[in-house]
Amino acid sequence: MHRYDELWAGLGLDLDAHDRLLKALPPTYYEVYLKQENRPRGMEYFDFVINEIHGLRIKELQEFRQAGGKVVGTFCLYVPEELILAAGGVFVGLCAGIEVGTARAETVLPRNICPLIKSFMGFKLSRICPYFESCDLLVGETTCDGKKKAFEVLADFAPVYVVEVPQKKGPRDWELWLGEIRALAARLEELTGKKITPETLRAAIVKVNAKRRALKRLAALRKADPPPISGRDALLIYQIAFYDDVDRFTAQVNALCDELEERVRRGEGVVPPGTPRLVITGTPMAIPNWKVPYIAETSGAVIVAEELCTGLRYYEELTDESGETTDELLASIAARHLEFDCACFTPNLKRIQKIGLLANEYRAKGVISYILSFCDPYAVEHYQVEKGLRDRNLPVLKVETDYSEHDAGQLRTRIEAFIEMLTGGANTRTE
């Protein structure tokens, strides 16, 4: 990776701590990504993006800010990218997928809390996430207790605005959520000093829908046997979707899809035909949290779909582009969100149906139910996942883990046993 010391110092990063972080990543990336055989050529762009994720992209954001632009950071699909773009801003995800700054994070957070939350607080308090330091506003949400309350702490260290995501999906929730989206639009206009018009909003929706369409195209190609791309690489692309410039990213995903279509036509894939196929579902995976997909794909399986926020939920639903007024378009944005099967809703049984349909459509033999430690929404909802998939005769492996590597050996043993069980044709619950 190139060095951008001046840029990083200008953002107030702790350069020594940041250097240690940067040194930790390349060996992991080599092991998880670059060692893969028969990778699509089109992945080169995404490798480049990761290599420059604390460099060139941050430089772009700084240039944008120097020209008066505003950068808005978030963690969640409930903060609509279209709105930020329509107000003339840029949307970025925030650092959260690795154990970092834990000692500092634990001065303000309880020890037993979701690693994603501890990670983002560690990044912020240790000043090693250039995205955090490039943001003019952080937009949080109320999708889980841990984040909801941690944003209150974060507000002592950065400007934070919180949108309230409802917990059911009835008419009252619709009113609440539409109101929250309208209020967020006003807040973003205030931030950027630019009015959201029907034109800017429709253009933003069309732009982001194009990204979603490209990702849907990518997903559909993974139905082939053998799949033309690994699950790890697909996950990486979904993760990068939160950071990269929208149009450039869309073009690169489409270019990759052109290549993958060729591969599918030739029957070429990243694994031998007949390799056991898995769906993964549960808690979202932030960069560089690739642990479980990596283990699964180096244990004889291939992941063909992700029922995750860093997966299907990100691109499945499009926003209706047909509204005439700003308010109609805001309603279309709000309506899209209430289609998501996030575990923050009660009940959330459509999610279980979705996993079943997905497994069927992608010809998966089994499902990994992935739960980040202390993530109550997905951990408790696992009961429904297991029950619902048992009714569909679909084996499920529950994997509860954090960002450390301590359990990697044990996870590998369990995942290998699960895959073996699948290929042996047995059909029982493994836990």
Establish if 400 lies at the interface with its own copies (CB under 8 A): yes
Establish if 149 lies at the interface with its own copies (CB under 8 A): yes
Establish if 180 lies at the interface with its own copies (CB under 8 A): yes
Q: How long, in residues, is the chain?
A: 431
Which position among 113, 196, 358, 419 is part of the footprint of its own copies (CB under 8 A)? 113
Which position among 66, 112, 393, 428 is part of the footprint of its own copies (CB under 8 A)? 112
Interacting stretch for its own copies, rule CB under 8 A, among 33-41, 102-110, 216-224, 422-430?
102-110
DSSP 213: H
- x/- mask, its own copies, residues 327-346, rule CB under 8 A, reads ----------------xx-x
Cβ nearer to its own copies, comparing 124 with 212:
124
> Cα–Cα distances in Å, from 62 out to 7, 56, 152, 358?
8, 10, 27, 40
- Where is 128: in which H helix or E strand? none
Which position among 133, 297, 316, 381 is part of the footprint of its own copies (CB under 8 A)? 381
**Nearest Cα residue to 306 out of 380, 369, 225, 348:** 369
Which position among 2, 66, 272, 383 is part of the footprint of its own copies (CB under 8 A)? 383
| Residue 371 CB, nearest approach to its own copies (Å) | 8
Which spans in 193-347 are helix H?
A: 198-221, 231-240, 246-266, 291-297, 312-315, 326-337
Establish if 115 lies at the interface with its own copies (CB under 8 A): no
| Residue 251 CB, nearest approach to its own copies (Å) | 39
Establish if 314 lies at the interface with its own copies (CB under 8 A): no
Cβ nearer to its own copies, comparing 260 with 334:
334
Strands 137-141, 160-163: parallel, antiparallel or unpaired by DSSP?
parallel
| Residue 97 CB, nearest approach to its own copies (Å) | 20
> Cα–Cα distances in Å, from 30 out to 25, 348, 385?
9, 38, 34
Establish if 175 lies at the interface with its own copies (CB under 8 A): yes
Establish if 368 lies at the interface with its own copies (CB under 8 A): no
CA 310 to chain centre: 3
Burial 103-115 (b: 16+ CB within 10 A, else e): ebbeebbeeebbb
Query: What is the residue whose two structure tokens read 């772009």?
Result: 60
CB 222 within 8 A of CB 37: no
Using CB under 8 A, list all residues that contact its own copies. 108-110, 112-113, 142, 144-146, 148-153, 162, 164, 166-168, 172-173, 175-176, 179-180, 343-344, 346-348, 371, 373-374, 376-377, 379-384, 400
